[in-house]
Amino acid sequence: MVLVAPSLLSADFSKLKDEITALEKAGADMIHLDIMDGHFVDDLTFGPAVVKSLRPHTKLPFDVHLMVDYPEHFILPFKDAGADIITVHAESTVHLDALLAKIKNLGLKAGVALNPATDENVIKYVIDKVDLVLVMSVNPGFGGQTFISSSVDKIARIKKLIKGHKILIEVDGGINPLSGGQCVSAGADVLVAGTAVFKGGEYKKNIESLR
């Protein structure tokens, strides 16, 4: 079964505790936390203190997506805040292998995110350290964008590339029941969705629609 990871970026920030509680009851599989620093991408979201404050209120895994410069500075703070998975952008570091090893050595699952223009073959050289590949199906930085259709073929190529390895393929950006279905058919395991989960406040119905 496909896993659904609601993006907290689309939640009501005035009541985040209530939002994650509602998402867990609605059947979400994990909580996707988009961390933006205003440098790697233009927007600025939240840091380890907010994540730590939310950790006691759900048993769902925290899927932390670092859209930041110098991600090596953020690994330990987010580990201490309660992250279960930390995903770093291949474009954000020149020491991807070392950074993934650092995440793994802390007992966390390690992910690599790829921007739309980034070749998937970058993961060939770190595949032994990767638990998750995050395919960005929009350009990162803000929600509500249109799904980039070429992402479907990219997912299929990644599926072949990781054959024989226990690696999840996650997709983030413009996900709805139609685009999500295309991604799952190509090999995706996890759908990150913001607008598609939170619209109308019908979280359970929306999550079931994505599945």
Among residues 29, 34, 131, 189, which one is catalytic? 34
pLDDT value at 109 more than 80 = yes
- For this structure, is 34 an active site residue? yes
Among residues 29, 63, 172, 189, which one is catalytic? 172
pLDDT digits (tens, 9 = 90+) for 179-200: 999 999 999 999 999 999 999 9
pLDDT digits (tens, 9 = 90+) for 33-58: 999 999 999 999 999 999 999 999 99
pLDDT (0 to 100) of residue 142: 67
Residue 200 lies in domain: 3-210
CATH value at residue 10:
3.20.20.70
Number of domains in the chain: 1
Enter the pTM of the model: 0.95
Reported as a pLDDT band with limits 50, 70 and 90, residue 140 is confident
pLDDT digits (tens, 9 = 90+) for 158-171: 999 999 999 999 99
Sign of CA dihedral 187, 193, 196, 197: positive
